Amino acid sequence: MLDLAGKNALVTGIANNRSIAWGIAQQLHKAGANLGVTYLSDDKGKMEKKVADLVAPLNPSLFLPCNVQNEAEINSTFATIADKWGSIDILIHCLAFANKEDLSGDFSQTSRFGFQTALEVSTYSLARLAGAAKPLMKSGGSILTLSYLGSVRAIPNYNVMGVAKAGLEASVRYLAAEMGPENIRVNAISAGPIRTLASSAVGGILDMIHHVEKIAPLRRTVTQLEVGNAAVFLCSDLGSGITGQVLYVDAGYEIMGM
Ligand SMILES: NC(=O)c1ccc[n+]([C@@H]2O[C@H](COP(=O)([O-])OP(=O)(O)OC[C@H]3O[C@@H](n4cnc5c(N)ncnc54)[C@H](O)[C@@H]3O)[C@@H](O)[C@H]2O)c1
C-alpha cells in the first residue's frame, strides 16, 4: 500500500522551496509519514531559520543540523533518531555539492581538492548515512538517493558531478546487495533537469532544460513533486520488490537517441 502512516522518514537536502527534497518531503507527508528533516547549517543560522519556516506545515518531529562533512553532526543525528524514534524506515539522501569552477570548462582541469570535495559530499555521504541508518532499520527500510543522467553520458559542464553520480549509482548497487538480507531496499531516482540552487551552479543549466523540453517524449521536464511521487512509490510497499535500481523520472528524455 501507498500508506506511509507510522513510518519514520528522514529527509536530507532541503535548502528552499525549489529543492527536490522539498518536493519529496511534501509527498511523504501527504502519504502519512512522520518526518525528520536535516539541514546544512551556516554560521549565521540563516539556513536553519529558512528551512524551519518552510517545513513547519509538515510538522517534522525531528529537525537537526547535518553537514555530511561533519562526523559529529552525522553521529548526533542518528543518536537523536535512536533516542527519539527508536527506529527509522525511510532515508532520503538528496544532496550534492561541487565547486562552481568544476562545473564548467574542461573536466581534465578539475583540481584534486575539487574532485575530493565533490565525491565526499555527493557520493561517500550516501554510504556513510546508509551505514548509520542500517542498525536503526529494524523492520527493514528504504533508502533513496538522487542521481542524474550525467552519470552514464557525457553532459556538457556536468564534469566532476558526472563522476560523482556514477559512483553514487554504483554505491546504490553495493548497498542494495549488502542490505537486502535485512529487507532494506536501496534505489536512486535519476531526475531530469530542474531549476534549483544546486543546478544553477552547472554551466548552461537553462539551455539543458530547454533542450529537454524540445526532445523529451513528454516535451517538458519534470517537477519536484513528480520526483516526490516516484520517491513515495519506491519507499512504500508498492515498491517492495525493487532494489538496487535507478529509476528515470525525466519525462522520458533518457530513451532518446536523436
Ligand atoms: N536539479 C536538478 O536538475 C537535478 C537533477 C537530477 C538530480 N539532482 C540531484 O538532486 C539532489 C538535490 O539537489 P537539488 O537540485 O534539489 O538542489 P538543492 O540545492 O535544493 O539541494 C542540494 C542540497 O544539498 C545540500 N548540501 C550541500 N552540501 C551539503 C553538505 N556538506 N551536507 C549536507 N547537505 C549538503 C544543500 O544544503 C541543499 O539542501 C542532488 O543530489 C542533485 O544532484 C538534481
pLDDT above 70 coverage of the chain, percent? 100
| Confidence (pLDDT) at 254 | 98
CA of 258 to the centre of ligand 1 (A): 29
* CA 195 to ligand 1: nearest atom: 1
Would 1 be classed as within a structural domain?
no
172 pLDDT band, cuts 50/70/90, is: very high
* CA 148 to ligand 1: nearest atom: 6
| Confidence (pLDDT) at 203 | 86
Span 220-249, average pLDDT: 98
CA of 20 to the centre of ligand 1 (A): 7
| Confidence (pLDDT) at 236 | 98
Q: Residue 14's domain spans which residues? A: 8-250
Would 258 be classed as within a structural domain?
no
Pocket test for ligand 1, best of 16, 20, 64 (most atoms within 8 A of CB): 20
Ligand 1 binding residues, C-beta < 6 A: 13-15, 18-21, 40, 66-69, 94-97, 121, 146-148, 191, 193-194, 196-199
Output the domain CATH number for residue 82.
3.40.50.720
Give yes or no for residue 1 having a pLDDT over 80.
no
Q: Kindly report the protein residue whose alpha carbon is nearest to atom 4 of ligand 1.
A: 193
Give the global pTM: 0.98
Would 22 be classed as within a structural domain?
yes
Would 256 be classed as within a structural domain?
no
| Confidence (pLDDT) at 258 | 85
Would 255 be classed as within a structural domain?
no
Residue 140 to residue 197: CA distance in whole angstroms: 33
Would 232 be classed as within a structural domain?
yes
Pocket test for ligand 1, best of 11, 39, 94 (most atoms within 8 A of CB): 94
Would 230 be classed as within a structural domain?
yes
Would 257 be classed as within a structural domain?
no
The total number of structural domains in the chain stands at: 1
CA of 12 to the centre of ligand 1 (A): 9
Give yes or no for residue 127 having a pLDDT over 80.
yes
